[in-house]
Amino acid sequence: MTVLRTLNLVRIYQNGGVPVPAVRGVDFTVAAGEFVAIMGPSGSGKSTLVHMLGGLDVRTSGEIWLDGKRVDTLSESAWAVLRRRKIGFVFQFYNLVTNMTVADNVELPALLAGMSPREARERREYLLGELGLTERAYAAPAELSGGEQQRVALARALANGPQLLLADEPTGNLDSRNTRDVLKLLGEVHGQGQTIVVVTHDAKVASKADRVVTLADGMIVDDASMRRRRFTPGTAGDVVELRG
Amino acid sequence: MRLPLLALLAKEPAHGYELKQALEQTFGSAYPSPNIGQIYVTLGRLEKDGLVRSVDVEQSNRPNKKVYFLTADGREALENWVDEPTEGPRVRDEFFMKLVLAPLTGIADRMALINRQRRHYLSLMRDLTELAERTDPGDRVALLLIEGATLHLQADLDWLERCQEDLVT
Ligand SMILES: Nc1ncnc2c1ncn2[C@@H]1O[C@H](COP(=O)(O)OP(=O)(O)OP(=O)(O)O)[C@@H](O)[C@H]1O
Ligand SMILES: [Mg+2]
Protein backbone atom coordinates (compact mmCIF):
# COMPACT_ATOMS: atom_id res chain seq x y z
CA MET A 1 0.00 0.00 0.00
CA THR A 2 1.26 3.46 -0.87
CA VAL A 3 1.21 6.04 1.89
CA LEU A 4 2.84 8.88 0.03
CA ARG A 5 3.34 9.74 -3.60
CA THR A 6 4.58 12.81 -5.42
CA LEU A 7 4.30 13.52 -9.11
CA ASN A 8 6.72 15.88 -10.78
CA LEU A 9 6.92 17.97 -7.66
CA VAL A 10 8.53 21.39 -8.12
CA ARG A 11 9.33 24.24 -5.76
CA ILE A 12 10.80 27.46 -7.08
CA TYR A 13 11.54 30.23 -4.59
CA GLN A 14 11.74 33.84 -5.64
CA ASN A 15 14.82 35.52 -4.29
CA GLY A 16 14.53 39.22 -4.99
CA GLY A 17 12.97 38.49 -8.37
CA VAL A 18 15.49 35.74 -9.16
CA PRO A 19 13.92 32.27 -9.35
CA VAL A 20 15.68 29.69 -7.15
CA PRO A 21 14.59 26.18 -8.15
CA ALA A 22 14.95 24.19 -4.92
CA VAL A 23 13.05 21.06 -5.97
CA ARG A 24 12.95 20.28 -9.68
CA GLY A 25 10.57 17.49 -10.58
CA VAL A 26 10.57 14.84 -7.89
CA ASP A 27 8.64 11.59 -8.37
CA PHE A 28 8.72 9.73 -5.12
CA THR A 29 6.65 6.94 -3.61
CA VAL A 30 6.68 5.60 -0.07
CA ALA A 31 4.97 2.33 0.85
CA ALA A 32 3.25 1.74 4.19
CA GLY A 33 5.75 0.68 6.82
CA GLU A 34 8.73 1.76 4.77
CA PHE A 35 11.68 3.63 6.31
CA VAL A 36 13.22 5.98 3.73
CA ALA A 37 16.28 8.16 4.25
CA ILE A 38 16.86 11.23 2.10
CA MET A 39 20.48 12.30 1.72
CA GLY A 40 22.28 14.85 -0.39
CA PRO A 41 24.54 17.88 -0.17
CA SER A 42 23.57 21.03 1.68
CA GLY A 43 21.17 23.07 -0.44
CA SER A 44 20.06 20.10 -2.55
CA GLY A 45 16.42 20.61 -1.57
CA LYS A 46 15.92 18.05 1.19
CA SER A 47 14.22 20.34 3.69
CA THR A 48 12.14 21.95 0.96
CA LEU A 49 10.93 18.53 -0.13
CA VAL A 50 9.90 17.28 3.31
CA HIS A 51 8.32 20.61 4.19
CA MET A 52 6.09 20.25 1.14
CA LEU A 53 5.30 16.65 2.10
CA GLY A 54 4.17 17.90 5.50
CA GLY A 55 2.18 20.82 4.10
CA LEU A 56 4.55 23.36 5.63
CA ASP A 57 5.60 24.79 2.29
CA VAL A 58 3.58 25.24 -0.89
CA ARG A 59 4.55 23.48 -4.10
CA THR A 60 5.02 25.49 -7.26
CA SER A 61 3.72 22.67 -9.43
CA GLY A 62 3.17 18.93 -9.32
CA GLU A 63 1.07 16.74 -7.06
CA ILE A 64 1.27 15.22 -3.58
CA TRP A 65 -0.89 12.26 -2.62
CA LEU A 66 -1.20 11.13 0.96
CA ASP A 67 -3.02 7.94 1.85
CA GLY A 68 -4.83 7.91 -1.51
CA LYS A 69 -5.95 11.54 -1.37
CA ARG A 70 -4.57 14.49 -3.23
CA VAL A 71 -3.30 16.96 -0.64
CA ASP A 72 -1.24 19.61 -2.45
CA THR A 73 -4.48 21.46 -3.18
CA LEU A 74 -5.59 21.54 0.47
CA SER A 75 -6.07 24.78 2.39
CA GLU A 76 -3.80 25.62 5.28
CA SER A 77 -6.46 24.69 7.82
CA ALA A 78 -7.12 21.36 6.13
CA TRP A 79 -3.39 20.68 6.30
CA ALA A 80 -3.42 21.52 10.00
CA VAL A 81 -6.07 18.87 10.57
CA LEU A 82 -4.12 16.36 8.53
CA ARG A 83 -0.94 17.01 10.49
CA ARG A 84 -2.78 16.61 13.76
CA ARG A 85 -4.14 13.21 12.75
CA LYS A 86 -1.73 11.65 10.33
CA ILE A 87 1.67 13.29 10.22
CA GLY A 88 4.41 13.71 12.77
CA PHE A 89 7.01 16.31 11.88
CA VAL A 90 10.48 16.84 13.34
CA PHE A 91 11.98 20.13 12.19
CA GLN A 92 15.64 20.71 11.52
CA PHE A 93 15.42 23.44 14.17
CA TYR A 94 12.98 21.75 16.58
CA ASN A 95 10.22 24.43 16.95
CA LEU A 96 9.10 23.51 20.47
CA VAL A 97 6.45 25.59 22.23
CA THR A 98 8.57 27.72 24.53
CA ASN A 99 6.08 28.45 27.30
CA MET A 100 5.08 24.84 27.85
CA THR A 101 6.96 22.11 29.70
CA VAL A 102 8.62 19.29 27.82
CA ALA A 103 5.86 16.93 29.00
CA ASP A 104 3.12 19.23 27.71
CA ASN A 105 4.91 19.72 24.40
CA VAL A 106 4.82 15.97 23.89
CA GLU A 107 1.32 15.34 25.24
CA LEU A 108 -0.36 18.14 23.32
CA PRO A 109 -0.36 16.49 19.88
CA ALA A 110 -1.62 13.25 21.40
CA LEU A 111 -4.51 15.11 23.04
CA LEU A 112 -5.23 17.03 19.84
CA ALA A 113 -5.39 13.74 17.96
CA GLY A 114 -8.07 12.55 20.39
CA MET A 115 -6.20 10.42 22.94
CA SER A 116 -7.46 10.46 26.52
CA PRO A 117 -5.30 12.39 29.02
CA ARG A 118 -4.20 9.11 30.52
CA GLU A 119 -3.21 7.61 27.16
CA ALA A 120 -1.39 10.80 26.25
CA ARG A 121 0.53 10.73 29.52
CA GLU A 122 1.49 7.09 29.11
CA ARG A 123 2.62 7.67 25.54
CA ARG A 124 4.67 10.68 26.67
CA GLU A 125 6.28 8.69 29.50
CA TYR A 126 7.18 5.90 27.10
CA LEU A 127 8.67 8.20 24.46
CA LEU A 128 10.64 10.40 26.86
CA GLY A 129 11.87 7.26 28.63
CA GLU A 130 13.17 5.76 25.40
CA LEU A 131 15.01 8.97 24.62
CA GLY A 132 16.56 9.31 28.07
CA LEU A 133 14.55 12.43 28.92
CA THR A 134 12.36 11.27 31.80
CA GLU A 135 14.15 13.59 34.19
CA ARG A 136 13.64 16.62 31.95
CA ALA A 137 9.87 16.21 31.63
CA TYR A 138 8.99 19.29 33.68
CA ALA A 139 11.68 21.57 32.30
CA ALA A 140 10.97 24.34 29.81
CA PRO A 141 12.45 23.91 26.33
CA ALA A 142 14.77 26.88 26.88
CA GLU A 143 16.39 25.01 29.77
CA LEU A 144 17.39 22.13 27.49
CA SER A 145 20.47 21.66 25.36
CA GLY A 146 20.04 21.62 21.58
CA GLY A 147 20.35 17.85 21.55
CA GLU A 148 17.72 17.46 24.25
CA GLN A 149 15.33 19.78 22.43
CA GLN A 150 15.80 17.74 19.30
CA ARG A 151 14.88 14.54 21.10
CA VAL A 152 11.81 16.21 22.61
CA ALA A 153 10.82 17.24 19.09
CA LEU A 154 11.03 13.60 18.02
CA ALA A 155 8.95 12.47 20.99
CA ARG A 156 6.37 15.14 20.14
CA ALA A 157 6.23 14.05 16.52
CA LEU A 158 5.55 10.45 17.53
CA ALA A 159 3.08 11.30 20.28
CA ASN A 160 -0.07 10.92 18.18
CA GLY A 161 1.08 7.66 16.58
CA PRO A 162 1.18 9.32 13.16
CA GLN A 163 0.67 7.41 9.96
CA LEU A 164 3.73 9.14 8.53
CA LEU A 165 6.75 10.44 10.42
CA LEU A 166 8.68 13.17 8.60
CA ALA A 167 11.96 14.15 10.23
CA ASP A 168 14.51 16.70 9.08
CA GLU A 169 17.97 15.90 10.52
CA PRO A 170 16.69 14.35 13.76
CA THR A 171 20.23 13.60 14.93
CA GLY A 172 21.89 16.74 13.59
CA ASN A 173 22.88 18.03 17.03
CA LEU A 174 23.32 14.80 18.91
CA ASP A 175 26.42 13.12 20.22
CA SER A 176 26.89 9.43 19.55
CA ARG A 177 25.09 8.19 22.64
CA ASN A 178 22.00 10.34 22.03
CA THR A 179 22.07 9.38 18.37
CA ARG A 180 21.98 5.78 19.48
CA ASP A 181 18.84 6.43 21.58
CA VAL A 182 17.14 8.14 18.65
CA LEU A 183 18.11 5.30 16.31
CA LYS A 184 16.85 2.74 18.76
CA LEU A 185 13.50 4.48 19.01
CA LEU A 186 13.21 4.89 15.23
CA GLY A 187 14.05 1.20 14.80
CA GLU A 188 11.48 0.29 17.42
CA VAL A 189 8.58 2.28 15.97
CA HIS A 190 9.59 1.16 12.47
CA GLY A 191 9.34 -2.41 13.76
CA GLN A 192 5.83 -1.57 14.95
CA GLY A 193 4.92 -0.56 11.39
CA GLN A 194 5.66 3.17 11.50
CA THR A 195 6.27 4.71 8.08
CA ILE A 196 9.29 7.02 8.26
CA VAL A 197 10.84 9.56 5.90
CA VAL A 198 13.96 11.09 7.37
CA VAL A 199 16.35 13.66 5.95
CA THR A 200 19.83 12.98 7.23
CA HIS A 201 23.53 13.52 6.75
CA ASP A 202 24.22 10.83 9.30
CA ALA A 203 25.09 7.53 7.67
CA LYS A 204 24.19 5.66 10.86
CA VAL A 205 20.63 6.89 10.47
CA ALA A 206 20.60 6.12 6.76
CA SER A 207 21.95 2.64 7.39
CA LYS A 208 18.81 1.89 9.41
CA ALA A 209 16.55 2.73 6.48
CA ASP A 210 15.05 0.32 3.97
CA ARG A 211 15.78 2.78 1.19
CA VAL A 212 18.16 5.67 0.65
CA VAL A 213 17.15 8.40 -1.79
CA THR A 214 19.86 10.86 -2.81
CA LEU A 215 19.05 14.38 -3.96
CA ALA A 216 21.34 16.68 -5.92
CA ASP A 217 20.28 20.08 -7.19
CA GLY A 218 16.64 19.43 -6.41
CA MET A 219 16.43 16.11 -8.24
CA ILE A 220 16.62 12.46 -7.24
CA VAL A 221 19.92 11.08 -8.49
CA ASP A 222 19.83 7.73 -6.71
CA ASP A 223 17.18 5.57 -5.10
CA ALA A 224 18.75 2.55 -3.47
CA SER A 225 16.90 -0.13 -1.61
CA MET A 226 19.08 -1.41 1.19
CA ARG A 227 18.34 -5.10 1.12
CA ARG A 228 19.37 -6.99 4.19
CA ARG A 229 22.43 -8.98 3.36
CA ARG A 230 22.42 -12.69 3.92
CA PHE A 231 25.94 -12.60 5.19
CA THR A 232 26.16 -11.46 8.79
CA PRO A 233 29.65 -10.85 10.05
CA GLY A 234 30.60 -12.73 13.17
CA THR A 235 32.73 -10.25 15.01
CA ALA A 236 33.91 -6.71 14.63
CA GLY A 237 37.12 -8.17 13.38
CA ASP A 238 35.36 -9.21 10.20
CA VAL A 239 34.27 -5.65 9.53
CA VAL A 240 36.94 -3.63 11.20
CA GLU A 241 40.55 -4.08 10.30
CA LEU A 242 43.13 -3.45 12.96
CA ARG A 243 46.62 -2.76 11.76
CA GLY A 244 49.87 -3.59 13.44
CA MET B 1 50.77 -8.58 14.67
CA ARG B 2 54.42 -8.25 15.68
CA LEU B 3 54.15 -5.34 18.08
CA PRO B 4 50.98 -6.46 19.87
CA LEU B 5 52.71 -9.79 20.54
CA LEU B 6 55.78 -7.99 21.89
CA ALA B 7 53.50 -5.92 24.13
CA LEU B 8 51.87 -9.02 25.55
CA LEU B 9 55.25 -10.66 26.11
CA ALA B 10 56.47 -7.55 27.92
CA LYS B 11 53.84 -8.30 30.52
CA GLU B 12 54.90 -11.92 31.01
CA PRO B 13 56.48 -14.79 29.08
CA ALA B 14 53.93 -16.95 27.32
CA HIS B 15 53.53 -19.68 24.75
CA GLY B 16 51.72 -19.26 21.46
CA TYR B 17 48.32 -20.44 22.56
CA GLU B 18 48.35 -18.20 25.63
CA LEU B 19 49.07 -15.23 23.38
CA LYS B 20 46.12 -16.10 21.20
CA GLN B 21 43.87 -16.23 24.26
CA ALA B 22 45.24 -12.95 25.63
CA LEU B 23 44.52 -11.19 22.33
CA GLU B 24 40.99 -12.54 22.32
CA GLN B 25 40.38 -11.49 25.89
CA THR B 26 41.73 -7.99 25.41
CA PHE B 27 39.99 -7.10 22.17
CA GLY B 28 36.88 -9.23 22.44
CA SER B 29 34.85 -9.18 19.28
CA ALA B 30 36.82 -6.19 18.02
CA TYR B 31 39.69 -8.28 16.79
CA PRO B 32 39.64 -10.93 14.10
CA SER B 33 40.23 -14.04 16.14
CA PRO B 34 43.96 -14.58 15.48
CA ASN B 35 44.99 -17.69 13.69
CA ILE B 36 47.34 -19.78 15.84
CA GLY B 37 49.52 -20.64 12.85
CA GLN B 38 49.95 -16.95 12.11
CA ILE B 39 51.00 -16.38 15.72
CA TYR B 40 53.67 -19.08 15.53
CA VAL B 41 54.98 -17.75 12.22
CA THR B 42 55.22 -14.26 13.71
CA LEU B 43 56.94 -15.54 16.85
CA GLY B 44 59.44 -17.40 14.65
CA ARG B 45 60.27 -14.21 12.77
CA LEU B 46 60.56 -12.19 15.98
CA GLU B 47 62.96 -14.80 17.31
CA LYS B 48 65.01 -14.68 14.13
CA ASP B 49 65.21 -10.89 14.47
CA GLY B 50 66.39 -11.26 18.06
CA LEU B 51 63.39 -9.53 19.58
CA VAL B 52 62.19 -12.59 21.50
CA ARG B 53 63.80 -15.81 22.68
CA SER B 54 62.23 -19.08 23.61
CA VAL B 55 62.87 -21.92 26.02
CA ASP B 56 61.46 -25.43 25.86
CA VAL B 57 59.42 -26.32 28.88
CA GLU B 58 58.80 -29.99 29.57
CA GLN B 59 55.25 -31.09 30.14
CA SER B 60 54.16 -34.46 31.51
CA ASN B 61 52.36 -36.62 28.94
CA ARG B 62 52.65 -33.92 26.27
CA PRO B 63 55.23 -32.61 23.89
CA ASN B 64 57.42 -29.80 25.15
CA LYS B 65 56.02 -26.34 24.77
CA LYS B 66 57.98 -23.28 23.76
CA VAL B 67 57.70 -20.35 26.11
CA TYR B 68 58.67 -17.02 24.60
CA PHE B 69 60.09 -14.01 26.37
CA LEU B 70 61.12 -10.53 25.36
CA THR B 71 64.79 -9.64 24.77
CA ALA B 72 66.32 -6.21 25.47
CA ASP B 73 66.11 -5.48 21.73
CA GLY B 74 62.46 -6.51 21.81
CA ARG B 75 61.76 -4.11 24.63
CA GLU B 76 63.46 -1.32 22.73
CA ALA B 77 61.41 -2.05 19.59
CA LEU B 78 58.27 -1.99 21.71
CA GLU B 79 59.20 1.33 23.35
CA ASN B 80 59.93 2.88 19.95
CA TRP B 81 56.56 1.70 18.70
CA VAL B 82 54.74 3.21 21.66
CA ASP B 83 56.67 6.49 21.47
CA GLU B 84 56.11 7.12 17.75
CA PRO B 85 53.08 8.99 16.52
CA THR B 86 50.89 6.61 14.54
CA GLU B 87 50.08 7.15 10.88
CA GLY B 88 46.36 7.83 10.38
CA PRO B 89 44.46 6.25 7.54
CA ARG B 90 44.75 8.10 4.26
CA VAL B 91 42.09 9.09 1.83
CA ARG B 92 40.97 6.09 -0.18
CA ASP B 93 42.62 7.22 -3.31
CA GLU B 94 41.82 4.15 -5.34
CA PHE B 95 38.21 5.22 -5.63
CA PHE B 96 39.35 8.75 -6.36
CA MET B 97 41.51 7.46 -9.20
CA LYS B 98 38.50 5.71 -10.67
CA LEU B 99 36.36 8.78 -10.21
CA VAL B 100 38.78 11.10 -11.94
CA LEU B 101 40.05 8.77 -14.65
CA ALA B 102 37.14 6.52 -15.63
CA PRO B 103 34.98 9.23 -17.23
CA LEU B 104 37.91 10.29 -19.41
CA THR B 105 37.82 6.89 -21.03
CA GLY B 106 34.04 6.73 -21.34
CA ILE B 107 33.88 3.56 -19.24
CA ALA B 108 31.55 5.01 -16.62
CA ASP B 109 30.08 8.32 -15.62
CA ARG B 110 30.87 9.93 -12.32
CA MET B 111 27.37 9.98 -10.89
CA ALA B 112 27.08 6.23 -11.40
CA LEU B 113 30.46 5.67 -9.72
CA ILE B 114 29.54 7.87 -6.79
CA ASN B 115 26.15 6.20 -6.39
CA ARG B 116 27.69 2.75 -6.39
CA GLN B 117 30.33 3.78 -3.87
CA ARG B 118 27.73 5.41 -1.62
CA ARG B 119 25.64 2.25 -1.61
CA HIS B 120 28.72 0.25 -0.72
CA TYR B 121 29.61 2.55 2.21
CA LEU B 122 26.02 2.49 3.42
CA SER B 123 25.91 -1.27 3.44
CA LEU B 124 29.18 -1.34 5.38
CA MET B 125 27.62 1.13 7.77
CA ARG B 126 24.65 -1.14 8.17
CA ASP B 127 26.96 -4.04 9.06
CA LEU B 128 28.70 -1.88 11.65
CA THR B 129 25.40 -0.68 13.12
CA GLU B 130 24.14 -4.23 13.44
CA LEU B 131 27.40 -5.37 14.89
CA ALA B 132 27.32 -2.59 17.50
CA GLU B 133 23.80 -3.66 18.45
CA ARG B 134 24.90 -7.26 18.87
CA THR B 135 28.01 -6.41 20.86
CA ASP B 136 27.88 -6.72 24.64
CA PRO B 137 27.63 -3.14 26.01
CA GLY B 138 30.33 -4.08 28.53
CA ASP B 139 32.79 -4.79 25.72
CA ARG B 140 34.05 -1.24 25.54
CA VAL B 141 37.17 -1.95 23.51
CA ALA B 142 35.11 -3.56 20.76
CA LEU B 143 32.51 -0.78 20.81
CA LEU B 144 35.16 1.92 20.58
CA LEU B 145 36.72 0.21 17.63
CA ILE B 146 33.35 -0.06 15.89
CA GLU B 147 32.68 3.59 16.59
CA GLY B 148 36.03 4.52 15.11
CA ALA B 149 35.23 2.59 11.95
CA THR B 150 31.82 4.27 11.83
CA LEU B 151 33.33 7.74 12.05
CA HIS B 152 35.81 6.98 9.27
CA LEU B 153 33.00 5.72 7.09
CA GLN B 154 30.97 8.85 7.78
CA ALA B 155 33.96 10.92 6.69
CA ASP B 156 34.22 8.86 3.49
CA LEU B 157 30.56 9.53 2.78
CA ASP B 158 30.91 13.26 3.45
CA TRP B 159 33.86 13.35 1.12
CA LEU B 160 31.85 11.51 -1.54
CA GLU B 161 29.26 14.25 -1.23
CA ARG B 162 31.96 16.86 -1.81
CA CYS B 163 33.15 14.95 -4.87
CA GLN B 164 29.56 14.92 -6.11
CA GLU B 165 29.21 18.67 -5.62
CA ASP B 166 32.46 19.55 -7.34
CA LEU B 167 32.93 16.92 -10.04
CA VAL B 168 29.42 16.12 -11.23
CA THR B 169 27.91 18.93 -13.21
N1 LIG C 1 12.54 30.40 1.91
C2 LIG C 1 13.44 30.37 0.95
N3 LIG C 1 13.61 31.39 0.09
C4 LIG C 1 14.52 31.34 -0.91
N5 LIG C 1 15.34 30.32 -1.13
C6 LIG C 1 15.23 29.25 -0.32
C7 LIG C 1 14.29 29.21 0.77
N8 LIG C 1 14.42 28.04 1.41
C9 LIG C 1 15.40 27.36 0.77
N10 LIG C 1 15.89 28.07 -0.26
C11 LIG C 1 16.93 27.64 -1.21
O12 LIG C 1 16.53 26.42 -1.77
C13 LIG C 1 17.63 25.51 -1.88
C14 LIG C 1 17.34 24.23 -1.13
O15 LIG C 1 17.30 24.51 0.26
P16 LIG C 1 16.95 23.40 1.35
O17 LIG C 1 16.82 24.08 2.66
O18 LIG C 1 15.81 22.57 0.89
O19 LIG C 1 18.29 22.52 1.30
P20 LIG C 1 18.73 21.27 2.20
O21 LIG C 1 19.03 20.16 1.26
O22 LIG C 1 17.73 21.02 3.27
O23 LIG C 1 20.10 21.79 2.83
P24 LIG C 1 20.74 21.53 4.31
O25 LIG C 1 21.40 20.19 4.21
O26 LIG C 1 21.74 22.62 4.43
O27 LIG C 1 19.66 21.60 5.32
C28 LIG C 1 18.84 26.27 -1.39
O29 LIG C 1 19.47 26.81 -2.49
C30 LIG C 1 18.24 27.35 -0.51
O31 LIG C 1 19.06 28.49 -0.49
MG1 LIG D 1 17.78 21.22 5.37
Name the closest-CA residue to atom 31, ligand 1.
A43
Query: CATH for B2-83?
Result: 1.10.10.10
Structurally, chain A folds into a number of domains equal to 1
Whole-number Å distance, alpha carbon A201 to ligand 2 midpoint, is 10
Q: What is the CATH number of the domain that holds A147?
A: 3.40.50.300
The residue segments making up the domain with residue A126 are: 2-227
A45 interaction partners in chain B (CB closer than 8 Å): none
> What are the DSSP calls for chain B, one per residue?
-HHHHHHHHHH--B-HHHHHHHHHHHHGGGS----HHHHHHHHHHHHHTTSEEEEEEEETTEEEEEEEEE-HHHHHHHHHHHHSPPPPPPP-HHHHHHHHHHHHHTS--HHHHHHHHHHHHHHHHHHHHHHHHHS-TT-HHHHHHHHHHHHHHHHHHHHHHHHHHHH--
CB contact under 8 A, A244 and B123: no
Q: Is residue A234 in a domain?
A: no
Supply the pLDDT for residue A240.
Answer: 61
Structural domain spans, chain B = 2-83, 94-167
Higher pLDDT, B127 or B33: B127
A234 interaction partners in chain B (CB closer than 8 Å): 29
Is residue A234 scored above 60 in pLDDT?
A: no
pTM to 2 decimal places: 0.83
CA distance B75 to chain A (A): 16
Tell me if A45 CB under 6 Å of ligand 1. Answer: yes
A11, A48 Cβ separation under 8 angstroms: yes
Tell me if A20 CB under 6 Å of ligand 1. Answer: yes
Q: What value does the mean pLDDT of chain A take?
A: 89
pLDDT in tens, B52-92: 999 988 888 888 889 999 999 999 999 988 888 877 766 65
B159, B91 Cβ separation under 8 angstroms: yes
The ligand whose atoms approach the alpha carbon of A18 most closely is 1
Burial of A164 (0-12, 13-18, 19+ CB in 10 A): buried
Supply the pLDDT for residue B62.
Answer: 80
Tell me which residues have their CB within 5 A of the ion that is ligand 2: A 47
